[in-house]
Chains A and B, each alone.
Chain A
Amino acid sequence: MGPMLTHAPTQRLLAGPPLDGRAESLAAHHRRLGPLPALPARQMVAALETTGLLGRGGAGFPVGRKWRAISERTENGTPVVVANGAEGEPESAKDRFLMTHRPHLIIDGAILAAGTLGADRVELYLGREHTSAVRAMRVAVSQRHVSEQKLLHVVEAPIGYVAGESTAVVHYVNSKDARPLMTPPRMSERGVRNRPTLVQNVESLAYSALIARYGPDWFRERGRGNNRGTALVTVAGPVRNEGVVEIDLGTPLAEVVELAGGLTGTPQAVLIGGYFGTWTRIDSAWNLPLDPESLKAAGLTLGCGLVRLLDARACGVDYSARIMAFLAAGSAMQCGPCRYGLADLASASGRVAAMSAGPDDLYHIDRWTGLVTGRGACRHPDGAAQQMSTAMTVFADDFASHAEHRRCLAGAHVGGVR
């Protein structure tokens, strides 16, 4: 089976020309999808609410509710739309993949949002390090009509994990400082230039542009179980075709792995939702439907849609400690518990991973993950702690073996799991 076929069953966002690294041109985009219909604002917001579409940036906030909050505001001036494409997750690729291949669908969504909310300005907030995505978006803007170009402003965000956090996005657009803000007023009230601001992930905007064309009933034709629609996920680890696939929400992990070409190794565990996400043993995750509700019921999160399988020969202690170190370095260093707590968590977990644990390291890791949670301006410490504490549970034997016997169990179970 070729790589293209693996995407075939459920393409909506990824429908169209081959996904070969080249962007769909404006002409091809218009031939394929036709013009963006001009819907009355009320009808568009209602359509989004009917779909139940959830934001795809990680937090999963209902898109329709977000648009409604701004469409009903009359204070603080003309609204602003920010298309958030700053994908700070190192292993997630879905936003940059979509921007690289379907930039006009995203721009359609941003223009649609601006029209619906009465905004006179769209900021396309892109991660500077994703050069091919930035190039595709810039070219796409240049292909647009002059009247649309006046609306669209490309902002290249600095590299950094927290730069895509929504208060950091607004902070950067306003004052070139991509650090989160403490308890800002709601961005639907005051965001960019103190105006009502919609900060929406690029995948959510692209989907909105399809819903405007085909309607909420079309949206709800796909999806399994109670969940409607499709979503982009990034599959990483021992699979044939690592990368982005579009799935029906509610598709079990086992089938998602098949969409990525099937296993090439023996996974022991899976990290779902990104570096802020949750670890699960592969046997309890294998038949789990991937959708926000099912995952939440299992104590997990879909987050940014990362599905990171960890091979049985790899060390879960080491992997989670490396993520911890990455997230500690990625702290905006504004809030004490995040700045010092994540640094200590990274040091302690690093010692355990390197077989040089102190006698209290495991105890401290366990305690500190609780202690940093909920104690920052943004949820960076919460996410970092969640990754670490679920790793401590899933890799409990290995953490204990590392700390007490200075011995790594990686590979010891090969053959024992799927």
Chain B
Amino acid sequence: MSDQPKLKLKVDWIACNGYGVCEASAPDLITLDDWGYPVLPDGPVPHGLVRQAENAINDCPMLALAWENKQAATGGRLGRLLGRGTARRPQDGGHR
């Protein structure tokens, strides 16, 4: 993990429908705003919360949550261990 670059989350705001699943999956990382949309932490995800972040990414029904630095995520040891990556996530989110 120590060789990991800083991992930051990003939301595809067009794809996000505000279901709030991410908050349930990553309660120590993500809160919801007054309208039900995710508020992400400023800056990188702390190492101890990377698993929560991965869960939130994979649980999002709209595929709207992803690592900002895709390379860091798909190359990450944790991602491989979990058999998960963000590579399948489309660039344009759910937008036509």
Asked if chains A and B come from one complex, the reply is yes
B15 partner residues in chain A, CB cutoff 8 A = 182
Q: Are B34 and A371 in contact (CB under 8 A)?
A: yes
Interface footprint category on B: 20 to 34
Residue B17 contacts which of A177, A184, A336, A368 (CB distance < 8 angstroms)?
A336
A175 partner residues in chain B, CB cutoff 8 A = 96
1/0 contact trace for B8-19 toward A, CB 8 Å? 001111111110
- Please name the residue on chain B nearest to A332 by beta carbon: B14
Q: Are B14 and A185 in contact (CB under 8 A)?
A: no
Q: Are A182 and B13 in contact (CB under 8 A)?
A: yes
Give the CA-CA distance A104 to B24 in the complex, in Å.
Answer: 58
Give the CA-CA distance A377 to B14 in the complex, in Å.
Answer: 7
Which residues, 183 to 221 on A, are CB-close (under 8 Å) to B? 183-185
Asked if A254 lies at the interface with its beta carbon under 8 angstroms from chain B, I say no
A336 partner residues in chain B, CB cutoff 8 A = 13, 16-18, 35-37
B34 partner residues in chain A, CB cutoff 8 A = 340-341, 344, 368, 371
- Please name the residue on chain B nearest to A175 by beta carbon: B96
Residue from A182, A184, A335 with most neighbouring chain B CB atoms (10 Å): A182
Give the CA-CA distance A184 to B95 in the complex, in Å.
Answer: 11
Q: Are A337 and B91 in contact (CB under 8 A)?
A: no
Q: Are A337 and B92 in contact (CB under 8 A)?
A: no
Min Cβ gap B31→A in Å is: 11
Question: Given A181-B95, A182-B92, are A375 and B13 also a contact pair (CB < 8 Å)?
Answer: yes
Asked if B76 lies at the interface with its beta carbon under 8 angstroms from chain A, I say no
A181 partner residues in chain B, CB cutoff 8 A = 14, 92, 95
Give the CA-CA distance A341 to B36 in the complex, in Å.
Answer: 11
Residue A341 contacts which of B16, B35, B92, B95 (CB distance < 8 angstroms)?
B35
Asked if A143 lies at the interface with its beta carbon under 8 angstroms from chain B, I say no
Asked if A376 lies at the interface with its beta carbon under 8 angstroms from chain B, I say yes
Asked if A334 lies at the interface with its beta carbon under 8 angstroms from chain B, I say yes
Q: Are A334 and B14 in contact (CB under 8 A)?
A: yes
A377 partner residues in chain B, CB cutoff 8 A = 12-14
1/0 contact trace for A158-178 toward B, CB 8 Å? 000000000000000001010
Which residues, 28 to 53 on B, are CB-close (under 8 Å) to A? 33-37, 39
Residue from A175, A183, A338, A344 with most neighbouring chain B CB atoms (10 Å): A183
Min Cβ gap B80→A in Å is: 25
Q: Classify the interface of chain B: helix, strand, loop or mixed.
A: loop
A376 partner residues in chain B, CB cutoff 8 A = 13
- Please name the residue on chain A nearest to B10 by beta carbon: A183
Min Cβ gap B4→A in Å is: 22
Give the CA-CA distance A165 to B15 in the complex, in Å.
Answer: 19
Asked if B79 lies at the interface with its beta carbon under 8 angstroms from chain A, I say no
Asked if B61 lies at the interface with its beta carbon under 8 angstroms from chain A, I say no
- Please name the residue on chain A nearest to B18 by beta carbon: A336
Which residues, 360 to 388 on A, are CB-close (under 8 Å) to B? 368, 371, 375-377
Min Cβ gap A334→B in Å is: 5
Residue from A184, A336, A340, A377 with most neighbouring chain B CB atoms (10 Å): A336
B91 partner residues in chain A, CB cutoff 8 A = 183, 185
Give the CA-CA distance A175 to B92 in the complex, in Å.
Answer: 15
Which residues, 304 to 347 on A, are CB-close (under 8 Å) to B? 334-338, 340-341, 344
- Please name the residue on chain A nearest to B17 by beta carbon: A336
A368 partner residues in chain B, CB cutoff 8 A = 34
Residue from B13, B91, B93 with most neighbouring chain A CB atoms (10 Å): B13
Min Cβ gap B92→A in Å is: 7
Q: Are B92 and A334 in contact (CB under 8 A)?
A: no
29 CB < 8 A contacts A-B: A175-B96, A182-B13, A182-B14, A182-B15, A182-B92, A182-B93, A182-B95, A183-B91, A185-B91, A334-B13, A334-B95, A336-B13, A336-B17, A336-B35, A336-B36, A337-B13, A337-B35, A338-B13, A340-B35, A341-B34, A341-B35, A344-B35, A368-B34, A371-B33, A375-B11, A375-B13, A375-B37, A377-B12, A377-B14
Residues of A at the B interface (CB closer than 8 Å) are: 175, 177, 181-185, 334-338, 340-341, 344, 368, 371, 375-377
User: 5 smallest A-B Cβ distances: which pairs?
Assistant: A335-B13, A340-B35, A336-B37, A182-B14, A334-B14
Q: A182-B14, A341-B34 are in contact. List 14 more A-B contacts (CB 8 A).
A: A175-B96, A181-B14, A182-B92, A182-B93, A182-B95, A185-B91, A334-B95, A336-B17, A336-B35, A337-B35, A337-B37, A338-B13, A344-B34, A377-B13
